[in-house]
Amino acid sequence: MVESNRGAARVLVVDDNKVNRLLLSRSVELQGHHPATAENGRLALEMLRAEPFDLVLLDIEMPEMDGFAVLEALRADAQLRDLPVLVTSSLEGMDSAVRSITLGAVDYLNKPVNPVLLKARIAATIEKKRLRDELKAMVRRFATSQVVQDVQESGFALGGKSVVASVMFADIRGFTPLVESQSPEETIDLLNTWYTLMFDAIQGHDGVVNQMIGDGLMAIFGAPVPLDDHATCAVRAAIEMIDLVEMFNAERESAGKPPIRIGVGIASGTMVAGYTGTSKRATYTCVGDTVNLAARLESHTKEAGRAILIDAATREGIGNAFVLESLGGVQLKGKASAVEVYAVTL
Amino acid sequence: MCGLLPPLFPRMNAMTTPTPIDIATFEALKQTTGADFAAELADTFLAEAPAMLAELGRARDAADAERFRRTAHSLKSNSMTFGALGLGTMAKSLELSGVSAVGRGDVPSLDELAAEYARVAAALKGLAHG
């Protein structure tokens, strides 16, 4: 809900007829909502793309861009396709109503609109949107916005597909002794702060955190939404993560708490990405050798004494954008042969 | 003026009542939106309607059927809002039948529409500000 007062919604009234605009705006206002107006479909779309609204009252017969074209444009726009639209029109015949509903309108109200019916429709539609917004917010606590978008666009189906992406594993070094030296509340507080900082860095570089396991996390760059420079994004995110941890440590130090250290492993290549689980409970994840390699690299940061380790494919993907140090061929656990490993110099 | 006029307004005489505004509709508008707002809205209509009538004439003369239909549609919508049922019915008739007439190059007269609007305007002024 786009609210300024509790329960008040922003409603866009789109009508080329001034009397209708005034009258519909008045009805909206009398219900305690905030109306804005547009004289045609083109202006309406500009406003809808520039600022958030909760509901559109849309006329059909308009110059420049009619109501049908607006409905089609909204349906094609991932950001606006869920915005509820009530069509208000005095076009004759059933065809306009059928076409409006088919194009996604919530309802079709004939003009002059019965004020009691309009009031009920506005209230019900805004309430339904509020509940949907709440549900979306709740879903986003458990799934990333990219995954939500992917499911909305492609539908949910268990199964995977081959993608080329970069995978990152990160965790807090020496977490177990740290947990043992502080209260459970402090531990949860520490984890929440750590996740907040890491999410900011990862999402800020178009990555998706798809797993949180204790003090560790797994992030994907390039799936479910493809990313051309996934390796560069992953390394940039890792460097920012280290910087944020340093700032966090300065705060901890002033509070008399020990600093934390993190390790990050990044590998790039082909992997299988998709939804695993059951039809009732599933998660979006990636599996394959590349994913295993990233996990091994993260684990190897302890022995290597480096914060960020990457594989040869990631190195190839980032070009000369970063200063790297070759650690040569490293025999990682679970790998049949030695793997070329590079440390990112901070 | 041409012979098309009678079929364009088939129910005009039946709808042209002694009071050109349906009082119940206008009272309901006042009650729903407030008397002051209803008066302002009526003033807006009275300020815009002459331009609509003029636009209808221009669209007819230019044989622009689409513009003619759209303008008649808008006039119908506003008329019905204020309970100007006769004017609204005439505008609706133009919206539905006038298009083909204009498209054919026929020129329906708008005199009766203008006369009915004059009656509506006088009555609406009285109701809104009386």
pLDDT tens column, B89-103: 999 999 888 767 766
Length of chain B counted residue by residue: 130
Full set of structural domains in chain B with CATH: 20-129 (1.20.120)
The label of the residue with tokens 């539609």 reads: A125
Chain A interface test: which of B78, B80, B87, B93 (most A C-beta within 10 Å):
B78
Question: Is residue B40 within 8 angstroms of chain A, CB to CB?
Answer: yes
Ordered alpha helix ranges (H), chain A: 18-30, 41-50, 67-76, 95-102, 115-142, 145-154, 175-180, 184-204, 230-254, 289-304, 312-318
Query: Over chain A, what is the mean pLDDT?
Result: 90
Report CB contact under 8 Å: B77, A112: yes
**Mean pLDDT of the A256-285 span:** 86
**Mean pLDDT of the A105-129 span:** 92
Q: How far apart are CA B54 and CA A128, in angstroms?
A: 44
The rounded percent of chain A whose pLDDT value lies above 70 is: 92
Q: How far apart are CA A196 and CA A198, in angstroms?
A: 6
Nearest to A310 by CA among A328, A294, A299, A333: A294
How high is the pLDDT of residue A245? Answer: 95
How high is the pLDDT of residue A135? Answer: 75
**Mean pLDDT of the A282-288 span:** 82
Q: How far is A39 from chain B (nearest CA, A)?
A: 13
Using the predicted structure, report yes or no on whether residue A169 has a pLDDT greater than 50: yes
Q: How far apart are CA A10 and CA A19, in angstroms?
A: 20
How high is the pLDDT of residue A1? Answer: 58
How high is the pLDDT of residue B12? Answer: 46
The amino acid at B1? M
Q: How far is C-alpha A40 from the geometric centre of its chain's CA atoms?
A: 31
Tokens found for residue A241: 């993560």
How high is the pLDDT of residue B6? Answer: 39
How high is the pLDDT of residue B61? Answer: 86
Pairing, β A85-89 against β A107-110: parallel
How high is the pLDDT of residue A269? Answer: 96
Using the predicted structure, report yes or no on whether residue A86 has a pLDDT greater than 50: yes
How high is the pLDDT of residue A144? Answer: 65
Is the distance from CB of A320 to CB of A326 less than 8 angstroms? no
Is the distance from CB of A51 to CB of A39 less than 8 angstroms? no
Pairing, β A107-110 against β A216-221: unpaired
What would the pLDDT profile of B69-81 be if each residue is shown by its tens digit? 999 999 999 999 9
Residues of chain A with CATH 3.40.50.2300: 10-142
Question: Is residue B39 within 8 angstroms of chain A, CB to CB?
Answer: no
CATH of domain A10-142: 3.40.50.2300
Is the distance from CB of B91 to CB of B76 less than 8 angstroms? yes
Is the distance from CB of A299 to CB of A267 less than 8 angstroms? no
Q: How far apart are CA A191 and CA B10, in angstroms?
A: 79
Question: Is residue A112 within 8 angstroms of chain B, CB to CB?
Answer: yes
The label of the residue with tokens 């609706």 reads: B92
How high is the pLDDT of residue B11? Answer: 45
Q: How far is C-alpha A303 from the geometric centre of its chain's CA atoms?
A: 35
Report CB contact under 8 Å: B95, A111: no
Which one has a higher pLDDT value, A50 or B102? A50
Tokens found for residue A9: 């919604």
How high is the pLDDT of residue A152? Answer: 67
Question: For A30, which residue in chain B has the nearest alpha carbon?
Answer: B33
When mean pLDDT is compared over A158-172, A269-283, B35-49, B100-114, the highest value belongs to B35-49
Question: Is residue A30 within 8 angstroms of chain B, CB to CB?
Answer: yes
Q: Which residues in chain A have Cβ-Cβ distances shorter than 8 Å to B76?
A: 90
Angle at Cα A234 formed by Cα A228 and Cα A236, nearest 5°?
Answer: 105
Architecture of domain A145-344: 2-Layer Sandwich (3.30)
Query: What is the largest distance, in Å, between two alpha-carbon atoms of chain A?
Result: 78
How high is the pLDDT of residue A139? Answer: 65
Residues of chain A with CATH 3.30.70.1230: 145-344
Question: Is residue A63 within 8 angstroms of chain B, CB to CB?
Answer: yes
Report CB contact under 8 Å: B33, A26: yes
Q: Given pLDDT bands bounded at 50, 70 and 90, which one contains residue A281?
A: confident
Q: How far apart are CA A274 and CA A272, in angstroms?
A: 7
Question: Is residue B92 within 8 angstroms of chain A, CB to CB?
Answer: yes
What would the pLDDT profile of B16-66 be if each residue is shown by its tens digit? 456 899 999 999 999 999 999 999 999 999 999 999 999 999 998 888 888
Pairing, β A55-58 against β A159-173: unpaired
Q: How far apart are CA A157 and CA A13, in angstroms?
A: 38
| Inter-chain contacts counted by CB atoms under 8 A, chains A and B | 50
Q: How far is A223 from chain B (nearest CA, A)?
A: 49
Question: Is residue A17 within 8 angstroms of chain B, CB to CB?
Answer: yes
A2's enclosing H/E stretch is none
How high is the pLDDT of residue A2? Answer: 56
Question: For A22, which residue in chain B has the nearest alpha carbon?
Answer: B41
What would the pLDDT profile of A210-253 be if each residue is shown by its tens digit? 888 888 999 999 988 888 999 999 999 999 999 999 999 999 99
Q: Which residues in chain A have Cβ-Cβ distances shorter than 8 Å to B99?
A: none
pTM, two decimals, is 0.64
Q: How far is C-alpha A331 from the geometric centre of its chain's CA atoms?
A: 37
Residue A263's φ and ψ, nearest 5 degrees, are: -125, 140
Residue B87's φ and ψ, nearest 5 degrees, are: -60, -40
Question: Is residue B45 within 8 angstroms of chain A, CB to CB?
Answer: yes
Q: Which residues in chain A have Cβ-Cβ distances shorter than 8 Å to B80?
A: 90, 111-112
Q: How far apart are CA A208 and CA A192, in angstroms?
A: 17
The label of the residue with tokens 């966090």 reads: A248
The amino acid at B28? A
Chain B, 50 to 89: residues with Cβ < 8 Å from chain A are: 70, 73-74, 76-78, 80-81
Using the predicted structure, report yes or no on whether residue A284 has a pLDDT greater than 70: yes
Cβ burial of A33 (10 Å; 0-12, 13-18, 19+) is buried
The rounded percent of chain B whose pLDDT value lies above 90 is: 62
